[in-house]
Each structure stands twice: as structure tokens, then as C-alpha cells.
Amino acid sequence: MITKKITYGFAFSLLILILFGTNALGSDEITATRSISELSVDAGDTFTVTIYVYFQEEIDAPKIEENLPEGWAISSGNYGNSTYSKDDSLATWLWTKKVDEGEQMSITYYVEVPDTASAGSYSVYGIISGLNSNNGDRITSTTIGDQKIEVLSSSTSTDDSSSSSSSSTSSSSSGGGGGGGGTSGEEYENILKKEVESVFINKGSLIKYEFSADENAINYVQFTGLKNSGKISTTIEVLNDRSTFADSDAPGIVYQNMNIWVGKVGFATSDNIEDPVIGFSVKKEWMEENGVSSDDIILYRYSDDAWNELDTSVLSEDDTSVHFESNTPGFSPFTIAAPFSAEKMSVSSSAAEDVEELESTVEDIEEESTIPVESTQSSPGFGVLASIAGVIIAGIFATMKGRK
């Protein structure tokens, strides 16, 4: 009886050891780690998921499986040589090849959070599996790393409705018209025109956002992506006056004020992008009217409570405009302007002197024309009239005396 219990106990322990030992071995033979670009997002946003896989054994037909929250869509990605499929919330990437021991590979996919997603915490989880080439056993390992996504707020925005989308709004030019609006914090009434462009950012790719609205002097924003960041929007807010975020006016003659925002706060840093530049145009007519040349045009950026002059160069020109490019360390309020030149200051000073001299002359004339009544009566014209009157009176008296 005791022997039978010991036998059953040994068999049960051996079964547990085999089951858990196999799973542990599987975890050692394949290691998968998940990296999520943004762990806090808003409804309507897109974020990037990258799975890094390391094989410590020779594996046949490896397969990655990922479970997403219901209604969350995978828009595109970089899947290597795998075959991608999706069934409801389960996404699968399958390789039909044999992977050697020590080999590494990865996949990247972009997830679109539904506009209707409620604020809260959501999970992305999955496994990596394959067949051991030595014995044909299936090995399964849970993907570790980032898993929780926090949705901060819901949104009805449609700016990110496609892989490369754009939208624009403008204020009314008549009385009572509102501004372009937006959530950047800029005063609503100060926004003349708003343009939004969205582009997928992959690691090492040259990214260019292009803008074409007539009211917008910015032609493009360009940089190199350093990470797989997913779909990122760039917003241009063309302003009626200086930015709400600036405490002073930019120096010189202002051509246009604007805000430029790339991604969310904290995205446009040296960790995520490099070599950012801004392309813009200035009308030749405006330069002629203000007596400035293309060499005078400067793009200023407001940062650290001051307007900073950016390195600006002329790229080309056409019949109506001159096209420029400026290097910028970041994105914030900007102003296209031209400094007051010494010649213009000299002309202004000379004009002021002429006005002052003219005012002095007018004052002298006014003083001379203010003549007292007494002086008027002793004027030459009055004397002539008095003399004539005297002669006539004397003649009358002489005639009367002769009659007597």
C-alpha cells in the first residue's frame, strides 16, 4: 500500500517536472521582447510595436502571435520575410524557413487606437513559438517587455485617418470670423491658417512633411527619423500676430508669424530625430515694397524666452518668390523677418529731419501771417486811400471858399 502511494507520487512529480521543465526549456531556446514606442496615447493616435527575437537553438517555422485590444487595427509595418495574417484581435507572423542558432530577427507593426476608445488601461500580449530542429518538439515562449498601454483621452480628430493625410482650416477674413482653432494652446482668434500632415516614421528614413496652402509661407519640414515611431503629425499654425507663447515681437520687419509642432510634446528631440530643417518662401513683391533683398531674410525661432536667429540660406527663386531653408534645433514659435538695414534707418532719419524742418517753416509762416490790426491800418494800401480821400476833401473846401 505504501509502495503504491510512493509510486503514484513519483509518477505525478515526474509529470510535473516534464511539463514545467519543457516550458522552461522553451523559454530558454527562444526569447522574444516587445518594445512599444508610446505607453501613453490618446484615442485616434498611432503607436509602434517592435518584437525582437533571439534564437538559442536551431528552430523551424518560427511564429509570432500578438493579441490586441478589440477594435484596435494594425495599419502596416516591417515584417521581414514573414507572412502576416490577422483574425479578429489575433495577429500572426509566420516564417517558413529554418532559423540558425544565435540568429536574431525582428518585426515592427503600427497600431491605430480607435477614435472611440475610452480612457483606461489596455494590454498587448503574445507568444513566440517554433519547432526544435533536433527533435521536432514545439517550443513556446511568452513575449516579455512592454505590455500596458494607457489611453489618456478620447478624440474625434480625423487628422490621422490615413498613412499620409492632411487637413487645414482657416479663419474668416470678414468681421466676426474665428481662428483656425486647435489644441496647441494658441489663441483661437490668432490662427489664420492651420495645416496638418501625417507621415509614418521609420528608423533611418528621411522624413519630409510638405505644405501647400497659399496663406502658409512654410513649404516643408524635414528630418531623419532615429526610431520606428509610427505615424507622427506635424502642424503649422499661421498666425495673425506673434505667437501666444512668445513674450515679445521678433526683431525687424515681420513677414509671417507661425507655430510649428512636430508630434506630441517631447517627441522632437535628439533621441528621436536628427538634422531638422524648415523650407519656406517669401514673395518678391513684399521684399521690394520693404526695400530688402533675399540676403536679408531670416527665420527666427522663439526658445529660452528669446528670439534666436537660425542659419538660413537661399535655395532657389522663381518669378514670384525666393525659396529658403533654415536649420533648427527644435520646433516652437517662428517668425520670418528681415532686419532694419542701415540704409533704411538712414533714409528714415533723413525723412524725419525733413519733416521737422517743414514743421519749423510752417510755424514761421504762421507767425508772420498773424498781423495786429494796428499794423494793418498803417499798411501802404491804407495810406494811398487816405491820401486820395484828403485831396477830395481839400478840393471840396476850396470850392466852397471861392463861392463865398
pLDDT of 376-385, one tens digit each? Answer: 444 455 555 5
Q: Of the candidates 204, 183, 154, which has an alpha carbon nearest to the alpha carbon of residue 45?
A: 154
Strands 138-142 and 125-132: antiparallel
Which DSSP category does 61 fall into?
E
What pairs with residue 87 in β-bridges? 90
pLDDT tens digits, one per residue of 344-382: 554 444 545 555 655 565 555 555 555 454 444 444 555
Which DSSP category does 84 fall into?
E
Task: Band the pLDDT of 326: cuts 50, 70, 90.
Answer: very high
pLDDT at 176: 31
Which residue type, as a one-letter code, is found at position 49?
A: V
pLDDT at 341 over 70: no
Higher-confidence position of 16 and 296: 296
Measured CA to CA, the distance from residue 353 to residue 230 in angstroms comes to 61
Calculate what percentage of the chain has a pLDDT beyond 90. 47
Using an 8 Å Cβ cutoff, are 68 and 125 in contact?
Answer: no
Task: Band the pLDDT of 310: cuts 50, 70, 90.
Answer: very high
Strands 191-201 and 166-170: antiparallel
Measured CA to CA, the distance from residue 212 to residue 280 in angstroms comes to 11
Which DSSP category does 161 fall into?
S
- List the grid coordinates of 166: 492632411
Measured CA to CA, the distance from residue 204 to residue 11 in angstroms comes to 56
Measured CA to CA, the distance from residue 346 to residue 77 in angstroms comes to 61
pLDDT at 242: 94
Measured CA to CA, the distance from residue 43 to residue 21 in angstroms comes to 42
pLDDT tens digits, one per residue of 107-137: 999 999 998 889 899 999 999 999 998 888 8
pLDDT at 336: 98
Residues 252-273 have a mean pLDDT of 92
Task: Band the pLDDT of 140: cuts 50, 70, 90.
Answer: very high
pLDDT at 3: 46
Three-class SS state of 300: strand
Higher-confidence position of 61 and 9: 61
pLDDT at 94 over 90: yes
pLDDT at 177: 31
In CATH, the architecture of 166-339 is Sandwich (2.60)
Residues 308-323 have a mean pLDDT of 96
pLDDT at 344: 52
What pairs with residue 49 in β-bridges? 36, 109
Name the average pLDDT for the chain: 79
Q: Quick one: the chain helix, strand, coil %, rounded to 5?
A: 25, 40, 35
Task: Band the pLDDT of 171: cuts 50, 70, 90.
Answer: very low
pLDDT at 81: 86
Report CA Rg, the chain.
41
pLDDT at 185: 81
pLDDT at 77: 84
Element (DSSP H or E) covering residue 365: helix 342-369
Residues 35-39 have a mean pLDDT of 88
Contacts of 99 by beta carbon, 8 Å cutoff, 6+ apart: 55, 58, 59, 60, 62, 105, 130
Calculate what percentage of the chain has a pLDDT beyond 70. 70
What pairs with residue 32 in β-bridges? 53
Q: What is the CATH number of domain 2-151?
A: 2.60.40.1510
| Residue bearing cell 484615442 | 43
For the stretch 220-224, contacts whose Cβ atoms lie closer than 8 Å and that sit 24 or more positions apart, written own/partner, are 220/278, 220/279, 221/260, 221/262, 221/276, 221/277, 221/278, 221/279, 221/331, 222/276, 222/277, 222/278, 222/279, 223/262, 223/273, 223/274, 223/275, 223/276, 223/277, 224/273, 224/274, 224/275
Please, what's the b/e burial string for 335-357 (b: 16 or more CB within 10 A of its CB; e: otherwise)?
Answer: bbbbebbeebeeeeeeeeeeeee
**φ, ψ at 110 (rounded to 5°):** -110, 130
Task: Band the pLDDT of 187: cuts 50, 70, 90.
Answer: confident
pLDDT at 394: 62
Measured CA to CA, the distance from residue 337 to residue 299 in angstroms comes to 6
Measured CA to CA, the distance from residue 165 to residue 387 in angstroms comes to 98
pLDDT at 198: 87
pLDDT at 111: 92
Among 161-165, 226-230, 388-392, the range scoring the smallest mean pLDDT is 161-165
pLDDT at 104: 87
Which DSSP category does 106 fall into?
E
